[in-house]
Chain A
Amino acid sequence: MSLLAEMNQKALDLGLPISVHLDITYRCNERCVHCYLDHDDHGEMTTAEIVDVLEQLADAGVFFLALSGGEVLMRRDFFEILERARQLLFNVKVKTNGVMIRQKEAARLRQLGVEQIQISVYSHRPEVHDAITKLPGSLKRTIRAIQFLKSQGLKVTLANVLMAGNFSDQSGVMTLARELGVSYTVDPTITPKMDGDRSILALRIPGSELKQVLHNQELVGNVEQFCAPPLAPDEDALDGFPCSAGHTACYISPYGDVFPCVQFPLPSGNVRRQKFLDIWRHSTQLKEVRSIRARDLPTCSTCAHVGTCTRCPGLAYMEGNMRGPSTADCEKSFQRTGIPSANMLARARASSAGPLIQIRTLADPLQNPPLAVEETLLSA
């Protein structure tokens, strides 16, 4: 176990929130087609409120702090917030589109000791990237920002969200990252909007392309190992929990709402009305999330993939049940190994069984051939 994993385990044992993702604004200068946020300002926390939250987080034991948005630099007090965060000795990762970063901003980020900057790039071709961000010239400005940040010696990660519209440019973006001397990470996950609107899921890459991603050695390393059929789950896997959401990590919105994760919009409290530690320790919602073990999941506990699946409880929650399957992760497990998940098999059985309740008219076959009336009241 690595030292970092050991500390994560220790934080888990002690019930400490070692990692917090804080969105300081939902406002943004881009309008990405796949974005799950509402960019209007509905009453963001003030500078003083955010500073107070940061102090509470430090007291609660938070070490890793991701500052994100929206676009963080849309807040004029961003550097004031960042400076306070660093005074409080957080390990800070900043997520940005880079459009507003010039030499001066890059130098300030360096001076403040930011650990890592993550920047979204969707394509190496301006016409594709800018069509996704809906901001003309955005790729050029983002690349320039990466160069400024690199010139300051900062660690930059280029994050490449894959959609049907930019899938074919994935290797081009990876090459761009290599040329710029930055890390590269790819994510094929498109999540529903925070208000529950699922229309943007149509942007997800289809299964055949997802399979290509999951079998790409440059992205996953040892393909044979990564795509191997799952072993039978042991007791540890069944007693395990799916991810750090609510256990050692949580998310705070610009309005002070606390959720288990940015991808898990289960309202668990608000730091404008309660102390962060009270929410962390006593929220019934967080307690419920923490209580769930793999063996408690009605469908997933019977699945061959239960020990290796990346099942996201937040995506499951957005599908209607935090104990249910996350179909996007079922698809990943299937495309990775070729073995359908228990959820996929159940759905296939249900759809092949025909309608659950049927009413047929009793007609004289000689008078009314062939049977023409079949009314389905309830389909499985």
Chain B
Amino acid sequence: MMAEKYIARSKAIAARLVGSEMMVMSAVDSTFFTLNEVASAIWQAADGRTPLSEIVAGKVCKQFDVDPEQAQRGADRFVDELSQHGILLVSDQPLTGTDSSLERR
């Protein structure tokens, strides 16, 4: 069985919802991303405490009517890419103190 993943938004980013898409920019390297509705849902649920599998099941599959395996693969790719830029923090343990001061708007 694969280890559970926990994801949290980095503090070193700027982010804002524009319509249904989330704009995210790294304050470290100015990499700029836009996240579609599904990716935005994962992003907004990335509180460091909820396992990724639970986010996928609760936020992605339910809200967007996606096949669970396909959704998990997409979520893994998304997390890998954003974590490479330090925009998402990933751990096999719950992440604390990473997200508490950030506000989603």
**With A7-B23, A63-B23 as contacts: A113 and B30 at CB distance below 8 Å:** no
The answer to whether A113 touches B18 (Cβ under 8 A) is no
**A3 and B103: CB pair below 8 A?**
no
**Stretch from B6-14, B50-58, B60-68, B77-85 at the A interface:** B6-14
Q: Which of B16, B27, B32, B103 has a CB less than 8 Å from the CB of A113?
A: B27
Whether the pair A63, B14 counts as a contact (CB closer than 8 A) is yes
Stretch in A89-97, A171-179, A330-338 with 4+ CB within 8 Å of B: A89-97
A230 on the B face (CB < 8 A): no
Per-residue CB contact flags for chain B residues 74-105 toward chain A (1 = under 8 Å, else 0) read 00000000000000000000000000011111
Interface band, chain A: 20 to 34
A323 within 8 A of B: no
Question: Residue B34 at the A interface, CB < 8 A?
Answer: yes
Please, could you name 14 A-B residue pairs with CB atoms under 8 Å apart, sorted by A?
A3-B34, A7-B21, A14-B18, A18-B16, A18-B18, A58-B16, A58-B105, A89-B13, A89-B14, A89-B104, A113-B11, A113-B12, A113-B27, A115-B25
Which chain A residues have a beta carbon within 8 Å of chain B's beta carbons? 3-4, 6-7, 10-11, 14, 16, 18, 58-59, 61-63, 86-92, 113-115, 155
Whether the pair B14, A92 counts as a contact (CB closer than 8 A) is yes
Do A91 and B18 have beta carbons less than 8 Å apart? no
B30 contacts across to A, CB distance below 8 A: 115, 155
Bound-state Cα–Cα, A4 to B18, Å: 12
Interface residue ranges of B14-65 to A (CB < 8 Å): 14-19, 21, 23, 25, 27, 30, 32-34
Q: How many CB-defined contacts (below 8 Å) exist between A and B?
A: 62
Q: Is the CB of B12 within 8 A of A7?
A: no
- Once bound together, how far apart are the Cα atoms of A231 and B27, in whole Å? 39
**Which among A4, A59, A89, A92 is the interface contact of B32 at CB below 8 angstroms?**
A4
A88 touches B103 (CB 8 A): yes
Q: Is the CB of B103 within 8 A of A87?
A: yes
Could you tell me if A61 and B102 are in contact, using CB atoms closer than 8 angstroms?
A: no
The answer for the CA separation of A2 and B8 in the assembled complex, in Å, is: 28
Closest to A88 in B: B103
Contact B27 A63 (CB under 8 A): no
Q: Which residue of A lies closest to B104 (CB)?
A: A89
Question: Would B103 and A58 count as touching, CB distance under 8 A?
Answer: yes
Q: Is the CB–CB distance between A6 and B34 below 8 Å?
A: yes
Centre residue among B13, B101, B102, B105 by max chain A CB count within 10 A: B105
| Chain B residues, Cβ within 8 Å of A18 | 16, 18
Give complex CA distance A92, B21 in Å. 20
Q: Within the assembled complex, what's the spacing in Å between the Cα atoms of A199 and B105?
A: 44
Find chain B residues with CB under 8 A from A113 CB.
11-14, 27
Distance of A116 Cα from B91 Cα, bound (Å): 30
Residues of chain A within 8 A (CB-CB) of B17 are 61
Task: State A6–B17 Cα separation when bound (angstroms).
Answer: 14
Q: How close is B93's CB to chain A, nearest CB, in angstroms?
A: 24
Taking CB atoms, residues of chain B closer than 8 Å to A86 are 11
Q: Please measure, in the bound complex, the distance between the C-alpha atom of A154 and the C-alpha atom of B19, giving whole angstroms.
A: 31
Contact of A63 among B11, B18, B103 (CB under 8 A): B18
The chain A residue sitting closest to B29, CB to CB, is A155
**Residues of chain B lying within 8 A (CB to CB) of residue A61:** 16-18
- The residues of B that contact A91 with a CB separation of less than 8 Å are 14, 25, 27
- Which residue from chain B places its CB closest to the CB of A116 in the assembled complex? B30
